[in-house]
Amino acid sequence: MTQTAKGRATSPDAASTGFAQSEYRARVAALQARMAQSGVDVLLLTTAADFYYVAGFLTRFWESPARPWFLCVPASGDPVAVIPAIGAELMGRGWIEDIRTWDAPFPGDDGVSLLAETLREVSATSPAPRIGLPMGLETQLRMPIGDYLRLTAMIAPAQCVDATDVVQRVREIKSEAEIAKIRAACGVADRAFARVGEYACPGARLDEVFRRFQMSLLEEGADWVSYTAGGAGPGGYGDVISPADDRRLAPGDVLMLDTGAVLDGYFCDFDRNYAISHVAKDTAAAQAALMAATDQVLGHLRPGHLACDVHRMFAEQLRAQGAVPGGGRLGHGLGLTLTEWPSFTPHDKTELRAGMVLTLEPGVEIAPGRCLVHEENIVLRESGPELLSSRAPRDLPILSGGAT
Amino acid sequence: MTQTAKGRATSPDAASTGFAQSEYRARVAALQARMAQSGVDVLLLTTAADFYYVAGFLTRFWESPARPWFLCVPASGDPVAVIPAIGAELMGRGWIEDIRTWDAPFPGDDGVSLLAETLREVSATSPAPRIGLPMGLETQLRMPIGDYLRLTAMIAPAQCVDATDVVQRVREIKSEAEIAKIRAACGVADRAFARVGEYACPGARLDEVFRRFQMSLLEEGADWVSYTAGGAGPGGYGDVISPADDRRLAPGDVLMLDTGAVLDGYFCDFDRNYAISHVAKDTAAAQAALMAATDQVLGHLRPGHLACDVHRMFAEQLRAQGAVPGGGRLGHGLGLTLTEWPSFTPHDKTELRAGMVLTLEPGVEIAPGRCLVHEENIVLRESGPELLSSRAPRDLPILSGGAT
């Protein structure tokens, strides 16, 4: 793997844009096989991730909530795109040939009757078609709810059914081309994390640190930076989802930075922790416990484990080290969005399979309101986890403001 | 207004984080007044923009689709937050006191029964409560559709009704504090656009131009960059929503960059066009028509006009110049999201009122597959538009690669 001047990885898989048409066709075939098993006649997709996955349609325009987009995957044959006219040019560059547009946003009928007509057409061989949509945990329907209710009335006797399983069981197994893209995104973050000492030091403003971190991610080759969060506080931080404020880093603080940098539509999602000037004893103990727990899971996780098993492994190992496991999930899926199913909670029974890309994200509560969270990205192989992020140093790096 | 080393505007309104509690309370009061008029007993909000508007809750964590978030605004009294436990710390720093959490994501009941219980409690004085949600054009319900359907069954005899109008008529009128934040975000983009000549020149790769542009936006003070799009092509570009590819800019190209940079949760949204080395005659004519049409609307737009009037003004003026108006909308609202209602189409009858922040976005089709789009951001005052972006130069800036 070689680097460009800007550091972007140029391995053949990662550097190319999108995927070969054969890969999209294989994805559609896999969805159609699941649809047949589930008795779904048409799969209706509405989100950015599903559009990129099936149609190769990648744009940041989803940031505008103004217009819905629809992709209909029939029981057999190619998908049909029912989209705002503004997207026709970009969609036309991809492999989907049947592209139907309306002049969105259109008050009173924002694509609904065109979608209903298309659904009727592509399900015409079935007397009472079942239109599958992802309706379950960790899904969203990206269209006005009023329009969804109107649609269900318009397409009767066709009915909408839950197709969460159809989409999730297919998308969660990544191809080698997808894994290469996620690995490249992780590489971008690895290189940016290695440079945090250039600007994070005692006295540095947290919002400037966040800004410089994002600039580094772009410099190292990210197409864009969809997510940064973090925290800083004496010996730990209060939460992991806050934006930056203008507080200044102080000796004894732990700084955490977390990112979802995007490369060709695929995310990384991991964090790194840094000690400012020195490390408190209880923070060092928490760090050691997190490292030991991560070692344990990296060594023992195998296909066939359930999502809840990972939570159990982390919790047991952290407790064995005398640490208090953090609440919430301790890792999750990753790929076309910052987070994907499954969730490493005590309740998620999803079976882990080879080809899944996952984050390992154990957290420790050092004291009330003070935590330490560590995260790595892996792909699960038959033989166990393969790291996609470069493993974090075992001891917290100390940033003192000297030359690094 | 003074600048820090990094160029961030430090006017009192724009530099502070969030808003005074009095402003959030005024917003809730305005929503509650509209709710009373519409017979809505509880307003149920689920999106990032509505959470920031009402609760002051700002995070990039919405990028994770894993968990739904709920905010219940009762007919009187303070809102109640029903949110994943991971958000309790950050929400607790704000003004909302009643914060109820569950350990999301939770298979089988991801906050739905807690939400149903809360809705029953805050609407207890009404025998058949009406729960209002934004259901209409340009809205989304950010929760699994299966959970929404379960919720409606659980809360009967309460029923869900459309409250799009309640939210949109309140949010579309910006306070001076909001306008200051959008003006500051526009200032960030103004400064970044002024530096495009530092890296965009004949031979520059489009994806590197996009990357450098985002770095400039951060350098100039953006908290993050939620949107960049653009295009480049001989004498114009094919669309305005594409991500960058690795093509190199060539003499005769027009480069367009468009951004939604974010400052304290508020967006700018405007573009700038640049000619590479020289300008074709028909491109120059299109540019002149766009400038004249923008002059016309800046001079004549007043509160009381309808959204469709703006489309008509643009279309008439462009045709009067011999230009072909682009399809789709020619501008829209702006603020907490990259785009807000209304839409300047022939069909949108929304009345424009003082305090609305809007984009003027006329486009011209120079030839099939070749367009030029110009965009400015304004706040509508009683006396007419006040520019928030610095008006683009009348002639396309020419980038030749020499010192700028």
Give the total number of structural domains in chain B.
2
In degrees rounded to 5, what are phi and psi of residue B245?
Answer: -115, -170
User: What does the pLDDT look like over B340-364, one tens digit per residue?
Assistant: 999 999 999 999 999 999 999 999 9
A46 touches A72 (CB < 8 A): no
Structure-model confidence comparison of residues A82 and B401, the more confident one? A82
SS3 for A117?
Answer: helix
- Domain identity same for A53 and A135: yes
Instruction: Report, as an integer, the average pLDDT of A141-160.
Output: 97
Residue finishing a domain among A137, A171, A205:
A171
pLDDT tens, A21-71?
A: 999 999 999 999 999 999 999 999 999 999 999 999 999 999 999 999 999
Please say if the pLDDT value at position A1 is more than 60: no
Boundary-marking domain end, from B152, B171, B190? B171
- The one-character DSSP state at B196 is G
Q: How far apart are CA A112 and CA A69, in angstroms?
A: 10
Residues of B in contact with A103 (CB under 8 A): 327-328, 345
Does the distance separating the beta carbons of B138 and A140 come in below 8 Å? no
Provide the residue type at B248 as one letter. Answer: R
pLDDT, tens only, B128-145: 999 999 999 999 999 999
Residue A221 in this model has a pLDDT that exceeds 80: yes
Question: Tokens 């997709």 correspond to what residue?
Answer: A45
Distance of CA B70 to the CA centre of its chain: 21
Q: What percent of chain B has pLDDT over 90?
A: 93
**Are A326 and A234 members of one domain?**
yes
List the single residue in A with minimal CA-CA distance to B58. Answer: A243
The span from the CA of B171 to the CA of B28, in Å, is 11
Each residue of B279-298: pLDDT tens digit?
Answer: 999 999 999 999 999 999 99
B131, B97 contact by CB (below 8 A): no
Grouping H, G, I as helix, E, B as strand and the rest as coil, residue A151 is: helix
Q: Quick check: is B185 in a domain?
A: yes
b/e sequence B114-137, b meaning 16+ C-beta within 10 Å: bbbebbeebbeeeeebbbbbbbbb
**How far is the alpha carbon of B59 from chain A, nearest alpha carbon, in Å?**
6
| pLDDT reading at B10 higher than 60 | no
Is B124 among the domain residues?
A: yes
Q: What is the mean pLDDT of chain B?
A: 94
Same domain, A155 and A191: no
DSSP state of B9: B
pLDDT at B15 over 80: no
Q: HSE of B48 in the Cβ direction (CA atoms, 13 Å)?
A: 18
Q: Is position B313 within any domain? A: yes
- Please count the residue pairs, one from chain A and one from chain B, whose beta carbons lie less than 8 angstroms apart: 228
Q: Which candidate from A17, A47, A224 shows the least CB-CB separation from B228?
A: A224
Reply yes or no on whether the pLDDT at A7 is more than 50: no
Give the model's confidence band at A402: pLDDT under 50 very low, under 70 low, under 90 confident, else very high.
Answer: low
Mark whether A162 and A59 lie in a shared domain. yes
d(CA B272, CA B253): 14
Over residues A184-199, mean pLDDT: 98
For residue B145, the chain A residue with the least C-alpha distance is A135
- What CATH number is attached to the domain comprising A181? 3.90.230.10
Q: Choosing among A51, A61, A240, A306, which should be mutated to test the B contact, i.e. which has the most B CBs within 10 A?
A: A61
Angle at A292 between CA A287 and CA A296, to 5 degrees: 145
Mean pLDDT of B238-250: 92
Any domain includes A10? no
How far CA A314 is from CA of A43, A307, A345, A355, B231, in Å, comes to 37, 11, 10, 21, 47
- What are the chain B neighbours of A270 within 8 Å (beta carbons)? none
Does residue A139 sit in the same domain as residue A125?
yes
- Rounded Cα gap, residues B79 and B42, in angstroms: 9
Residues of A in contact with B215 (CB under 8 A): 215, 218-219
Q: Do B41 and B67 have their domain in common?
A: yes
- Which of B89, B218, B240 shows the shortest C-beta gap to A214? B218
Could you tell me which of A153, A152, A170, A169 has the C-alpha nearest to residue A161?
A: A152
> Across residues A303-325, what is the average pLDDT?
98
Chain-centroid distance, C-alpha A23: 20
My answer on whether B149 and B192 are in the same domain is no
Q: By the CB < 8 Å criterion, does A229 face chain B?
A: yes
If asked whether residues B347 and B377 sit together in one domain, one would say yes
Residues B233 and B368 in one domain: yes
Residue A127 lies inside a defined structural domain of this protein? yes
| ipTM of the complex as predicted | 0.95
Asked if A311 and A167 sit in the same domain, the reply is no
pLDDT of residue B17: 86
What SS3 class is residue A245? coil
Looking at the fold, whether A161 and A99 belong to one and the same domain comes out as yes
How many CA within 13 A on the CB side of residue B124? 4
Predicted pLDDT at B129: 97
Question: Residue B29 belongs to what domain range?
Answer: 20-171
Record: contact A105-B226, CB cut-off 8 A: no
* Residue A74, in any domain of the structure: yes
Asked whether residue A245 falls in the same domain as residue A126, the answer is no
Distance from the Cα of B289 to chain A's closest Cα (Å) equals 21
Q: Give the tens place of pLDDT for each residue, B36-62.
A: 999 999 999 999 999 999 999 999 999
Q: What is the pLDDT of residue B402?
A: 61
Question: Does the pLDDT value for residue B11 go beyond 50?
Answer: no
Neighbours of B76 (CB within 10 A): 12
Q: Provide, rounded to the nearest whole percent, the portion of chain B with pLDDT above 70.
A: 95
Q: Quick check: is A292 in a domain? A: yes
From B146, B171, B196, the end of a domain falls on: B171
- Residues of chain A in contact with residue B207, where contact means CB-CB under 8 angstroms, are 223
User: What is the pLDDT confidence band of residue B401, given thresholds at 50, 70 and 90?
Assistant: confident
Domain contains A192? yes
State yes or no: pLDDT of A350 exceeds 90: yes
CATH number at residue B72: 3.40.350.10
Per mean pLDDT, which range of A220-229, A239-248, A341-350, B58-67 is the poorest? A239-248
